[in-house]
Chain A
Amino acid sequence: DGGITQSPKYLFRKEGQNVTLSCEQNLNHDAMYWYRQDPGQGLRLIYYSQIVNDFQKGDIAEGYSVSREKKESFPLTVTSAQKNPTAFYLCASNTLLGFSTDTQYFGPGTRLTVL
């Protein structure tokens, strides 16, 4: 079964702690993305990566960090510098074969709550 997995589904964090959200894909996609979704809002891009060992900041990268050591994996760390981390986090991926044909597919998401 090909797809994108995210873990954990729910995550609780105390203030001041760093937490890491996992994202794995077995679709052989080159590009991977992290989005944040707040209630009643659309998705906002945090970071993206188009190749192993390289990643770029999105629109709201402050307080987050990522790594891309393997093509299949793109973990997101929410650091204590992120002022309001409670949100729903979605990981996505797509091929880079052609601008008009590369549909972005999403994982099931991780809901992070800061206590």
Chain B
Amino acid sequence: AQKITQTQPGMFVQEKEAVTLDCTYDTSDQSYGLFWYKQPSSGEMIFLIYQGSYDEQNATEGRYSLNFQKARKSANLVISASQLGDSAMYFCAMREAYSGAGSYQLTFGKGTKLSVIP
């Protein structure tokens, strides 16, 4: 079974509108972390936001927020006031406490391609 599932291969959003990118995860660990990265066409992975499994508040970083629903095992990224520069691939990733291959390994989803329309 996939540990990270991103069900939207591609999304379109109008400039200045908000958009939600979905991410569901699968783990039996109690302690884990969830990350979102942005990958523009240049290829570099840019860290956006982090949510710990014990964090009670949803994480926010500027225009990015994470809608964390622990019981549903979802960690959706919300981008408010979309800008043309937000057009990129977005990856959800998880770090489990006991991944078996090193406790700091990240497992990535397949990504969602976001296109912002002027």
- Residues of the B chain whose Cβ atoms lie less than 8 Å from the Cβ of A58: 101, 105
Task: Say if the beta carbon of B12 comes within 8 Å of chain A.
Answer: no
Q: B22 CB to closest chain A CB, in angstroms?
A: 15
Q: Which one of B31, B44, B47 contacts A108 once the chains associate, using CB atoms below 8 Å?
A: B44
- Residues of the B chain whose Cβ atoms lie less than 8 Å from the Cβ of A107: 44
Q: In the complex, A94→B31 CA distance in Å?
A: 18
Interface size for A (C-beta < 8 A) is: 30
Binary CB contact string for chain B from 60 to 83 against chain A (1 if under 8 A, 0 otherwise):
000000000000000000000000
Q: CB distance A104 to B102 under 8 Å? A: no
Q: In the complex, A40→B45 CA distance in Å?
A: 15
Q: CB distance A59 to B104 under 8 Å? A: no
A96 touching B104 in the complex, CB below 8 Å, given contacts A41-B110, A103-B50: yes
- Residues of the A chain whose Cβ atoms lie less than 8 Å from the Cβ of B47: 103-106
Task: Say if the beta carbon of A62 comes within 8 Å of chain B.
Answer: no
Q: CB distance B104 to A40 under 8 Å? A: no
A108 touching B33 in the complex, CB below 8 Å, given contacts A43-B108, A103-B47, A103-B50: no
Binary CB contact string for chain B from 3 to 18 against chain A (1 if under 8 A, 0 otherwise):
0100000000000000
- Residues of the B chain whose Cβ atoms lie less than 8 Å from the Cβ of A75: none
Q: CB distance B91 to A99 under 8 Å? A: no
- Residues of the A chain whose Cβ atoms lie less than 8 Å from the Cβ of B105: 33, 45, 48, 58
Q: A55 CB to closest chain B CB, in angstroms?
A: 10
- Residues of the A chain whose Cβ atoms lie less than 8 Å from the Cβ of B4: 42
- Residues of the B chain whose Cβ atoms lie less than 8 Å from the Cβ of A92: 45
Q: Which one of A40, A44, A96, A108 contacts B42 once the chains associate, using CB atoms below 8 Å?
A: A108
Q: CB distance A94 to B104 under 8 Å? A: yes
CB proximity to A under 8 Å, residues B26-40: 31, 33, 35, 37
Q: In the complex, A56→B102 CA distance in Å?
A: 8
Q: In the complex, A103→B37 CA distance in Å?
A: 11
Task: Say if the beta carbon of B97 comes within 8 Å of chain A.
Answer: yes
